[in-house]
Amino acid sequence: MAVVTDGTAVLGLGDIGPEAGMPVMEGKCVLFKEFGGVDAIPLCVRSKSVDDIVNVVTLLAGSFGGVNLEDISAPRCFEIEERLKQSCDIPIFHDDQHGTAVVSTGRSDFPNQVNNVLCFPGIFRGALDARASTITEGMKIAAVYAIAGLVSDEELNTDYTLPEAFDPRVRDAVAKAVAKAAHEDGVARI
């Protein structure tokens, strides 16, 4: 798994460059390991050129089971993702776009904080387990239902609508649902 950035949109800090973005990418790799059981390597590309980033990732794609694009400024991030999906036969996931879309809100000042760590580790674990060639909308939707399904009707209340980020059930539930969806969507290779 590669976590790729050019350092142009790191957290709320903006364009701080690839070297300064490295600790954040290393942290993302830790989240992949802890919450997804996925080994990840940070790749900080020292270029803002869409062509350069696409070329670097395309050339290295054979060394990885998937690529998570992280903290790359808009609108370039959308073109990079689309071009990589065309040139690589491994899952390409722009976490800042799709990971946050899977969850409803990232507010931490109220109960039910929803963080994209609920989805991205399990999505990649499931995609890797199925040897998926891409991550489909069906796989993302399966992740949503898996996360929501971990809260029973009896547990559901105004202070508990989704499992917490540290709930150990999340990874396996999301991974299993995503792998199943990969098979249903015809992108699984095993």
In a domain, 189, yes or no: no
pLDDT of residue 24: 96
Predicted structure pTM score: 0.84
- CATH number reported for the structural domain that contains residue 99 in this entry: 3.40.50.10380
pLDDT of residue 102: 47
CA distance 35 to 117: 7
CA distance 85 to 122: 20
pLDDT of residue 108: 59
The closest of 94, 175, 89, 98 to 132, measured between CA atoms, is 89
pLDDT of residue 103: 47
Structural domain tally of the chain? Answer: 1
In a domain, 103, yes or no: yes
> Could you list the pLDDT tens digit for every one of the 190 residues in the chain?
999 999 999 988 999 999 999 999 999 999 999 999 999 999 999 999 999 999 999 999 999 999 999 999 999 999 999 999 999 999 999 977 765 544 455 555 666 667 788 999 999 999 999 999 999 999 999 999 999 999 999 998 888 888 988 899 999 999 999 999 999 999 999 9
Which two three-digit tokens encode residue 10?
Answer: 């790191």
Q: How far is CA 142 from the centre of its chain?
A: 14
Number of separate helices (H) and strands (E) present in the chain? 7, 4
Range of the domain at 108: 2-184
Q: How far is CA 41 from the centre of its chain?
A: 14
pLDDT of residue 101: 47
In a domain, 35, yes or no: yes
